[in-house]
Amino acid sequence: MRTRRIELKCFLAWKGWPLLVITAAAFSLRLFHMGQQGAWDNEAFSITTSALPMDKLTSALIDDFVNPPLHYYLLHAWFALCGSGTYQARLLSVLFGTLSIPTIYLLARHLYGRSVALLASALMGISELGVTYSQEARSYAMFLFLALCTAYLFLKSLEGDGRPARLGFLISAVALLYTHYYGIFVLLALTSYALLFRRSLVPGAVRRILMTLALALGLLIPWLASGVIGKALSSPKTAPGTQPPWFEVKASTLLKTLNHFNNGDMRGPIDSAPHWTFVLGALLFTAPAGMALWRARRAATCQQTSFVLLLCLPLPIIVALSGAFALQYGIRYVSFCTGFYYILVARGVLQLRRAFSAALIVLILAYSAPALQALYSTPYKENYRDALRDLSAQWRAGDCAVFWPFEKIPLQWWIDSRGKQPPLNAIKLQAAASKESGCRRVWLVTYRRLESPTTEAAAEALNKHFRRSARQSYFWITLDLYTTE
């Protein structure tokens, strides 16, 4: 018993234990219910594409052109080590999301000290957005981690000679650009900081930093020269036009995004948040961040706060550009700003009197809990997994399947099949609806996220020669069975 007490005292005397506890808690939050929902379309693309041989993987990414290749290459290697599948792919994101906790600690401690660093790490740990994208088989958790790494190594490279840190900064910046194209906004923010505060930096630091940034951009050229630019210019995806409601920028988009940052998603990631969360979330999160900015005007920390502010500015800039050019916008594209935002929030909270700071921290924790609960309990990804599982279980020889409105087998089928499921006879709607189709039964699998006149077009076509005998409903997916009986 005495030995245990001594060990406990030694552990509590170790200054690193609070960060260890915060990181462990963050890892648990990101691992909890990770496999509860099936893969949505973009995750399915990441998983199936990353499982391809390297030459085919690269060709597929060039044809798709939407994302740089680093996350896919890393996922390919991860699959070789751990096996492929939705759970394995999400586990990689869990690891990057967890690594963001000590990384934000290092950055915040460098800027403001240990207390702010611990609180910023805790805020990142309980962030609903941080947990969401740490449970997704996409590059956003990795992008956040690399954005924080790049910012920290940038600051370290400004100190003295800084050669090792500058090399680390170069590697991190290149990895950032090869993970997501919006990494350019992080590098622009860092460039702006170096130019704005060049007089207070070590002589020659700006020149060396600009050379490093230029080299990082130059190392992206091989990927840009691979054919992705030509694919992008010739694709209808890049043509400005009307976006679906979930990708459209509206007057309220920036406020809604900020409310997500403030853990206001009390009804889950895709449902509208209650109006009161905008006010309460702003008081708990945004007001302290604003106070930190206001108090830094003439304070000794003005330069540090300006650094963090510049790294938060991509949020309104990306929203504004997406709206101006009718481009696709999603909060996941700006989720990398959360880390920098939480540093400002932590700084503002700890500038209050101790009693007020403690009370505010307790309120933030209590306020954030419902958003996490809603994340774990509310479906927000199309449930092809269960729909296709039930389709496989009820499939008979002579059956046909129509996938509407895309008229192709969803990628989710290949993730879970692995030779265990029967081969699907997937045909076009027009062929299935004709008398000569040869189908004894027709399964109609309909994606229903956006209801439109074409949603019922398939049912109307099949009703000419078949009748619907059964329906099973899943989140955003319906599975209908049409028979001639």
Instruction: Examine the pLDDT at 304 and tell me if it is beyond 80.
Output: yes
Nearest to 66 by CA among 176, 174, 179: 179
480: three-class secondary structure by DSSP: strand
Three-state SS for 402?
Answer: strand
Out of 163-177, 197-211, 333-347, pick the least confident.
197-211
pLDDT of residue 165: 87
Q: What mean pLDDT is predicted for residues 352-370?
A: 95
* Strand ranges of the sheet holding 441-447, from the earlier edge strand across to the other edge: 399-404, 441-447, 477-483, 467-474
C-alpha dihedral sign at 371, 375, 378, 379: positive
Q: What's the confidence (pLDDT) of residue 435?
A: 75
Highest CATH level, class, for 384-483: alpha beta
What's the average model confidence in pLDDT over 358-384? Answer: 94
pLDDT at 7 over 60: no
β-strand pairing of 441-447 with 399-404 = parallel
Kindly state the tokens that stand for 254: 């920036």
Q: What is the rounded CA–CA span in Å between residue 180 and residue 138? A: 11
Which of 51, 43, 53, 64 has the alpha carbon at shortest distance from 223? 64
Q: H or E element: which one contains 477?
A: strand 477-483
Would you say 26 and 97 are in contact if contact means Cβ atoms under 8 Å apart? yes
pLDDT at 100: 97
Closest to 394 in 3D by CA, of 455, 464, 470, 484: 470
Residue 343 has pLDDT above 60, yes or no: yes
State how far the Cα of 22 lies from the Cα of 11, in Å rounded to an integer: 15
Which of 19-33, 166-180, 285-299 is the least confident region?
A: 285-299
Identify the band that residue 109 occupies on the pLDDT scale cut at 50, 70 and 90: very high
Whether residue 379 is preceded by a cis peptide bond, meaning omega within 30 degrees of 0, is: no
pLDDT of 408-442, one tens digit each?
Answer: 899 999 887 655 667 888 889 888 888 777 888 99
- Rounded to an integer, the average pLDDT of 110-127 is 96
Tokens of 484: 């001639």
Tell me the C-alpha distance between 150 and 152, whole Å.
6
114 pLDDT exceeds 70? Answer: yes
**Confidence class of residue 301 from pLDDT cuts 50, 70 and 90?**
confident
Quote the DSSP letter at residue 273: P
pLDDT winner (highest mean) among 171-185, 396-410, 411-425, 432-446 = 171-185
Say what the pLDDT of residue 9 is.
55
pLDDT of residue 131: 97
Q: Does the pLDDT at position 335 exceed 70?
A: yes
Q: How confident is the model at residue 49 (pLDDT cuts 50, 70, 90)?
A: very high
Question: What local confidence, expressed as pLDDT, does residue 332 receive?
Answer: 94
All structural domains of the chain with their residue ranges: 2-377, 384-483
- Residue 6 makes CB contacts below 8 A (sequence gap 6+) with none
* Mean pLDDT computed over 116-144: 96
Question: What is the spatial distance between Cα 185 and Cα 171, in angstroms, rounded to a whole number?
Answer: 17
Nearest-10 crossing angle of helices 338-349, 114-125? 130
